[in-house]
Amino acid sequence: MIRKLLVANRGEIAVRIIRTCKEMGITTVAVHSVGDKEALHVNLADESICIGPDNPLKSYLNMNNIIQAACSSGCDAIHPGFGFLSENPKFAKLVEECGLIFVGPNHELISMLGDKNEARLQMGIIGVPVIPGSKDVIETAEIGLQEAEKIGYPVIIKASSGGGGKGMRIVWNSSDFVENYNTAKSEAKISFNDDRVYIEKYIESPKHIEVQLLGDMFGNVIHLYERDCSMQRKNQKILEEAPCHVLDNNIREKLIKDAVKICKHLKYYSAGTIEFLVDKSGNYYFMEMNTRIQVEHPITEMITGVDIVRQQIRIASGLKLNIKQEDIKINGYAIECRITAEDTKNNFAPSPGKIKFLNVPCGNGVRIETAVYNGYTIPPFYDSMIMKVITYAPTRLACIKKMRATLEELFVDGVKTNIEFQYLLLHSAKFISGRYDTSYVANYIKELSENAEFI
């Protein structure tokens, strides 16, 4: 069993991992940039090490500094969290070569699933439908233009090492391609230290449904059902719910069956999430597999009772899954709202700064994942998400009402946030019906703007 673990991340996910490690009796080491020296994850960990300046390329994306911190502090494992280096096969390989445990799949699996051409090839072998797209990484804008013409507009440019909507751009015609290509590459470099991108056909207005899985090193695979992640702004999820309220049961069964089949075919182990797009006709397509913990994992934990981070650590320690598929039942509904430090009335511009006052609600069925506190200064160098608010209830309507009441209590003074915008979404007819898709938020913002309401 892992004895001492370094958390190669920051913010609420670092806090989440450290708390689970404490429950498991595992000693923790936090790493931090110069500007994060007062961060909550630093204070909660048993030890902490500064790994560089505020620029993430020189700290949280600095592989050598992180490895050196793990070795010098006597760690036997590294948990990458999400974002940063979590899906970087070079980092996973370096961790393995240094004799440390990488809490996730091995670098070969990360590399294979990060290679979108290889992932699509594997899906073809086992008969899982995929979205048409480029076979290789797009090295230049000129090559990209040629590929886009073959695929047919609209297309979407995606970061090869990407996730969380970073390094992703929709292109509607050839005149906009070069600018979007360069922007996607730049974002990918900043977010993942890897500027490789590929192109896919853009499926308009789909449902974004993902299946949470757990696999161990002995070939056992279980699913924890699905999440609806269709509420997105600029390809970034802002609100998620589990299970999907409007998903046809036949489609649900097929999605889950294919997700488990993929994991077994790949001999995948650790926590993993397979993302599908479901079009208006009920056709679904494999989009990608995330080989890390997801931001939205708490809603799955709430409806299944499974601690996904704990299972990640157990699996990485070489233990068999201690739960069986028949033990997993959907119990109730859960919703997650991502709270960001953004000025929604200024095109959602980041709003870093000092939190002068913070009131965090609590109560039955309310879960808050955060790393901010009264007096904390939100730095401008990292993602703007400051908190995840999760509510749980026996029915979806009760869960929605609980989330509304929770956001009414939540108060953050000193920075702009998207709390009010989330509150509006929770009252929108489309959300209440559950029949929204990935285009809904953009259309809703446009509607609010035209009516001179809020935005």
Residues 6+ apart with CB under 8 A from 415: 341, 351, 352, 353, 354, 355, 378
Q: Residues 6 or more apart from 56 whose CB is under 8 A from it?
A: 33, 84, 190, 381, 382
> DSSP letter string over 303-329?
HH---HHHHHHHHHTTPPPS--GGG--
At residue 231, what are phi and psi to the nearest 5 degrees?
A: -80, 95
Strands 155-159 and 168-171: antiparallel
CA-nearest of 123, 207, 193, 125 to 160 is 193
* Active-site pick, 10, 169, 196, 292: 292
Q: What is the DSSP letter of 165?
A: T
**16: annotated active-site residue:** no
Do residues 43 and 15 lie in contact, with contact meaning Cβ atoms separated by under 8 Å? no
Q: How far is CA 438 from CA 168, 208, 234, 355, 449, in A?
A: 14, 7, 9, 32, 19
Catalytic residues, by residue number, are 292
